[in-house]
Amino acid sequence: MYDLLPLVLTPERADIVSSLMRKVATTPTVFPDDRDCSDRCIENDKLLGEMCEACCTRMSHVAYILGRSTTIAWEVWREDELVGIIYFTDVTEQEAVGHYIFFDRDLVTKTLVIKEAISEIFKISRRITLLIPKPFSTLAHHAHKKLGFGGRYTWTLRNLRKREKQIKIEGVKRKAARWRNRDVDVLILGLIRA
- Is the pLDDT at 171 greater than 90? The verdict is yes
Same domain, 118 and 137: no
DSSP assigned state of 30: T
CA 125 to chain centroid: 18
pLDDT at 38: 66
pTM recorded for the entire structure: 0.89
What's the total number of domains in the chain?
2
155-179 b/e (C-beta count within 10 Å ≥ 16 → b): bebeeeeeeeeebebbeeeeeebeb
Same domain, 107 and 32: yes
Same domain, 13 and 77: yes
Same domain, 131 and 115: no
Which residue in 36, 193, 85 sits closest to 129, CA to CA?
A: 193
pLDDT at 32: 52
CATH code, 44: 3.40.630
Mean pLDDT of 26-55: 69
Mean pLDDT of 1-6: 94
Same domain, 157 and 191: yes
- Is the pLDDT at 37 greater than 70? The verdict is no
In tens, the pLDDT along 89-145 reads: 999 999 999 999 999 889 999 999 999 999 999 999 999 999 999 988 889 999 999
**Is residue 83 very low, low, confident or very high in pLDDT (cuts 50, 70, 90)?**
very high
Per cent of the chain over pLDDT 70 is 92
Average pLDDT, the chain: 89
CA–CA dist 146, 156 (Å, integer): 17
pLDDT at 9: 85
How does strand 3-6 pair with strand 164-169? Answer: unpaired
Burial class (CB in 10 A: 0-12, 13-18, 19+), 191: buried
Mean pLDDT of 157-176: 88
Same domain, 174 and 87: no
In tens, the pLDDT along 8-34 reads: 988 899 888 888 888 888 776 655 544
Same domain, 121 and 135: no
Boundary-marking domain end, from 83, 107, 125: 125
Enclosing domain of residue 55: 1-125
**Is residue 167 very low, low, confident or very high in pLDDT (cuts 50, 70, 90)?**
very high
Same domain, 101 and 118: yes
- Is the pLDDT at 80 greater than 80? The verdict is yes
Boundary-marking domain end, from 100, 125, 150: 125
Boundary-marking domain end, from 98, 125, 152: 125
